[in-house]
Structure 1
């Protein structure tokens, strides 16, 4: 591993290359910005990533004349570009992205990552983003890294030897944080409704945000909970500290918290640093349905942008506009369904902040079906809980209307009558 300047490391990228960028809290922005500064001498550089944090010069003029975004999960910083001719979106399960690299479908020329300093044996940690970064490093022709002492050294599979890194720069700066925001009364109501579905001994999967945090805040009387998730966030820490999360009933890595990436506050990063309780694995493992399903009572809690009256879920687009990605939703919904005693759950507010109903007669024109109606079981809003499993289309519509926002129920009843009226 050779330590160089950022400009020297960036020079490894050539026109026509396909480069991978590590994402989430570990986004290596110093290296990325140095690559972007070469925009006048580069052309047709393809960028592959899941969501990243921080400044994205490559998404905007004049830098974007040299770069094209091919996003496997659309974050807010590239959303505008992905919905123009300077970027695009690959619909793909998080569990299957590694196949793009390992099966040479989208071979990588350069992987750009951020790591901890090497230990006395020469091993660096990928920190809190192992997800698809590990297979990217294992398959890329070249690897450049920014070495940062503020990267947590995490346990699990996210360890690479310094000999795998071709060029490296040194930085000393905090990794990206996701601040905790106050939970509203509405979110508390949704959280309580979800928490009532969770049994003692369940294995949890949750994402980031106020609704998952509201669920977790309502679990302080539960016992023997486990965690097998794609994402680990601050809301889990109080339950670990109180001995509520023990993992003792998990089948896979009993007693361990299993995740592929973490995003949150410095408190979270300090907790996972050198903590053998938390195992960071690649997404091809954490999100493998057959692995998930071996745990008991898998309770997967996911969100939606909108759900139609038959139970079709859109979670990655607003009409034709790409908003996020398929991610791991289907991986865990299916894993929870197959798990003994498992519960796949969709938790959402009944309406948007602007008062638009999230339960709709039909999905918006052009909207993607992230999760099919055949996969949807529990749906939770602040107005209650319904289970669609085994219900016909008309029964599903009646159930979903019962937990919709009261301001929209008349409209939904009329739509259901027109659709399902029998002669």
Structure 2
């Protein structure tokens, strides 16, 4: 058979695809904006035919109806990164959370969590029969490579991204054709606090640096203050719309990168149609699986590597909690530690943890004597380098416990500094 005939022989409806799922199967879905929405919707509609189907993924951008109350008999969600749509299910016990560094997720699927079915979303095949994974390479490609059965939602609106980002139609068992718009993530609102934090972060970025940026208002605010920089590069687990503006302004060129010179290296994408149009068939952007992009030993090869991430709390020893509030799991480690360690292993790298000084509309300090009881330590004190709030920069690396606590107090919100100073004086038996 020729390629067109092979393709046609694999095409089924979303309902027929859902029927391929059996009770007790472990189903891994495409990540974030690459989630195969139509097949999952068909599975929800067929819920009465299932018992105990395990659905595994990181961030979900759709409704995640399999995690809603009343679905317990049919589905069990196993989250590797808790998102807004699955947070309640995990906290109430209807779903599970499995901790894992992002770069190690592919090995998880090969060993501890073998994959029965991979549900993926890809582009229309090219003339050679290859489909691009589009906006979601990360763990999606490795999951498909080790799954017993691969069901692909082939979407003619998926941008064709390049790099190690392809699957041949011969490796796909069933195809569901779709044309729905790729899920978009709208830019967050950036206020004065985020701008102040962004300006502090940008002050640590030298010309020729390679950046990893997380997601949210603070990373986007950092980009606002980089417009006077030269020859910046990107090696990041993801990018959003702000990067496009800096490429178009000639700020991000990648010309100083020591590996993948001139290229933007990412593993997944979350943004608006502007970002998706930018990456489509763009040879400047290359996507690789997460076990390559987020591997600290790969990250460290970039000169002047800078990681910028956010967190929930920092205690006076410099321990960082980024994924839980007490016992409540609100997200996951994601790639934070991957990039913190990669940047620290780079001889001229910098790892930055950026956050507003308060939470709950100013009622709580994010710099605290002790992390909330039950909180997971995401980034340990030995890994932490820079902590930034709107009040300044605290460099912790190389400082003793007394000095790092003092530096953190100096960037805490002024309203909470007296209580933090009392704790400092009690702890260290000295005057602040």
Q: Distance in 1 between matches of 2:90 and 2:149?
A: 26
Aligned residues of 2:153 and 2:178 also touching (Cα < 8 A): yes
Q: Structure 1 residue 285 and structure 2 residue 306: aligned?
A: no
Partner of 2:275: 268
Q: Structure 1 residue 18 and structure 2 residue 26: aligned?
A: yes
Partner of 2:48: 40
Of the three residues 113, 116, 119, the one matched with 2:123 is 116
Larger mean CA deviation between 47-56 and 313-322 belongs to: 47-56
Partner of 2:167: 160
- What's the offset of the Cα at 1:389? 0.6
Give the secondary structure class of the aligned counterpart of 1:107.
Answer: coil
CA-to-aligned-CA distance 1:330-379 (integer Å, 9 cap, x gap):
11001111112111001110011421110011000000000000110101
Aligned residues of 1:18 and 1:46 also touching (Cα < 8 A): yes
Partner of 2:72: 64
Q: Distance in 2 between matches of 1:238 and 1:57?
A: 35
Larger mean CA deviation between 12-21 and 181-190 belongs to: 181-190
Q: Structure 1 residue 300 and structure 2 residue 307: aligned?
A: yes
- What's the offset of the Cα at 1:78? 0.5
Q: Structure 1 residue 379 and structure 2 residue 387: aligned?
A: yes
Give the secondary structure class of the aligned counterpart of 2:81.
Answer: coil
Q: Distance in 2 between matches of 1:308 and 1:119?
A: 52
- What's the offset of the Cα at 1:422? 6.0
**Over aligned residue pairs, what C-alpha RMSD do you find?**
1.2
TM-score, L = length of structure 1: 0.98
Aligned residues: 422
Aligned residues of 2:129 and 2:168 also touching (Cα < 8 A): yes
Partner of 1:406: 414
CA-to-aligned-CA distance 1:43-97 (integer Å, 9 cap, x gap):
1111111111111110013333211111111111101111122211111100100
Partner of 1:367: 375
Equivalent residue runs for 1:407-422 within 5 Å: 407-421=415-429
Q: Distance in 2 between matches of 1:63 and 1:271?
A: 39
User: Which aligned segments of 4 or more residues in structure 1 are displaced greater than 4 angstroms?
Assistant: none
Of the three residues 206, 213, 222, the one matched with 1:206 is 213
Partner of 2:112: 105
- What's the offset of the Cα at 1:158? 1.4
Q: Distance in 1 between matches of 2:179 and 2:96?
A: 33
Aligned residues of 1:115 and 1:147 also touching (Cα < 8 A): yes
CA-to-aligned-CA distance 1:256-296 (integer Å, 9 cap, x gap):
00000010010000000000100011100000111100110
Q: Structure 1 residue 230 and structure 2 residue 237: aligned?
A: yes
Aligned residues of 1:150 and 1:174 also touching (Cα < 8 A): yes
Question: Which runs of 5 or more residues in structure 2 are unaligned?
Answer: 1-6
Give the secondary structure class of the aligned counterpart of 2:49.
Answer: coil
Partner of 1:185: 192
Partner of 1:94: 102
Aligned residues of 2:155 and 2:178 also touching (Cα < 8 A): yes
- What's the offset of the Cα at 1:420? 2.1
Question: Which runs of 5 or more residues in structure 1 are unaligned?
Answer: none
Q: Distance in 2 between matches of 1:67 and 1:226?
A: 42
Larger mean CA deviation between 57-66 and 341-350 belongs to: 57-66
Q: Structure 1 residue 329 and structure 2 residue 336: aligned?
A: yes
Aligned residues of 2:322 and 2:378 also touching (Cα < 8 A): yes
Partner of 1:341: 348
Partner of 1:149: 156
Partner of 1:75: 83
Aligned residues of 1:29 and 1:55 also touching (Cα < 8 A): no
Of the three residues 5, 19, 22, the one matched with 2:13 is 5
Partner of 1:85: 93
Q: Structure 1 residue 215 and structure 2 residue 219: aligned?
A: no
TM-score, L = length of structure 2: 0.96
Aligned residues of 2:31 and 2:139 also touching (Cα < 8 A): no
Aligned residues of 1:207 and 1:233 also touching (Cα < 8 A): no
Q: Distance in 1 between matches of 2:286 and 2:319?
A: 34
CA-to-aligned-CA distance 1:227-270 (integer Å, 9 cap, x gap):
10001111111111111111111111110000000100100000
